[in-house]
Homo-oligomer: A and B are copies of this chain.
Amino acid sequence: MTAPRLIDVAAAAGVSRATASRVLAGTPRNVDADLVRRVEEAARRLGYRTNHSARALRTGTTGTVGVVVPSLANPYFVQLADALAQQVRAAGGQLVVSDAANDTAIEAEQIETLLGGRVDGLLVVPVSAGASGPAVRAAAERAPVVLFDRWATGSGTVAVTLDNAAAMRLLLDHLESLGRRRIALVAADQASSSGAERLAAFTEARGTDATTVLLPSFTTDAGRTAGRRIAEQRDRIDAVVCGADVLAVGLVSTLQRSAVSVPGQIAVTGFDDTELLELLDPPITSIRHPLTAMAERALTLLQAPAGEREESVERFAPQLVVRASTDADA
């Protein structure tokens, strides 16, 4: 009943532990083809699986990468985690996903837990641009850490993010090219770097007079609240840029309930290009993140020498995905 160990496999194959290890761990070393076969045969017959803790202890490496996301309730982060998982798996590793429940205290706790020798490196999508910094810095001093999708000040490490300013310009240019002039912003979570950047880019482009509705959190419920406020001002607005898809979905459904036609009276855009957008009629224009390329880059940085991870921000180019919520003919 007790699990077979390497020494059992070695005995069954009539070789030493060292040889069995060389075969099974794939150490780059010539081993006689016949012995290789005997060891593999024995391992299979006994149902041997290498003990992960023992290997990790000896090699000092776990083959696991961790990622802490603000909340899996937001489908964007599920999508993000999925992109990372694919890249990690392609490299022969495993990804462990932790949820910070949008709380920097829980986030710090999750980081601590993962760092207890469970992961080789850690990716963090920081909850807050300010408050997440210290925990990330502490982590970065003990293990490779790379920020993903958002940055945090004082983190002491590099961040791989979207170029939010460029994304906002894409959206605004698109709306303006369709003749929309009275554009409002619905955004949330100014504490996050992405929320702040999107707001800043909007304000820079449209001036401080433009209508902005700021909400406490990235939830569809917040989106509905915004929808009510926008509906009240329907005569002074002909387009709404939302800082997140979840907001856009709540907003559109509320606007429609208030008999505001989308895009007829008000065009609406999302941000993040999640599946949610396809739910509604009309489907919603959004910004697609190059998640695969970002994931690849983040993992490369994670394995790079610490010197290449100095505090800085790398920005990836966004892509506009036009759907019927802005352009009925699209």
**CA separation between A119 and B256, bound complex, in Å?**
48
* A224-265 near B? 1/0 per residue, CB < 8 Å: 000000000000000000000000011001101100000000
The residues of B that contact A21 with a CB separation of less than 8 Å are none
**CA separation between A250 and B283, bound complex, in Å?**
12
The residues of B that contact A118 with a CB separation of less than 8 Å are 52
Q: Are B99 and A96 touching (Cβ within 8 A)?
A: no
Q: Are B57 and A279 touching (Cβ within 8 A)?
A: no
* A94-131 near B? 1/0 per residue, CB < 8 Å: 10110100000000000011011110000000000000
Tell me the chain A residues, 35-90 only, with Cβ under 8 Å from chain B: 47, 49-54, 56-57, 62, 72-73, 75, 78, 81-82, 85
Tell yes or no: A173 within 8 A of B by CB: no
Q: Are A253 and B275 touching (Cβ within 8 A)?
A: no
**CA separation between A253 and B280, bound complex, in Å?**
6
> Which secondary structure dominates chain A's binding surface?
helix
CB-nearest residue of chain B relative to A94? B113
Question: Separation in Å of the A4 CB from the closest CB of chain B?
Answer: 10
12 residue pairs of the A-B complex, CB under 8 angstroms, read A49-B117, A50-B117, A51-B116, A53-B57, A53-B117, A54-B117, A73-B75, A75-B75, A220-B278, A250-B279, A253-B280, A256-B281
**CA separation between A282 and B165, bound complex, in Å?**
36
Question: Separation in Å of the A244 CB from the closest CB of chain B?
Answer: 14
Residue among A94, A220, A256 with the highest chain B CB neighbour number at 10 A: A94
Tell yes or no: A221 within 8 A of B by CB: yes
**CA separation between A57 and B58, bound complex, in Å?**
11
* New A-B pairs, 6, CB < 8 Å, besides A51-B57, A53-B53: A73-B82, A78-B78, A85-B99, A94-B113, A220-B275, A250-B279
**CA separation between A47 and B113, bound complex, in Å?**
14
**CA separation between A278 and B115, bound complex, in Å?**
37
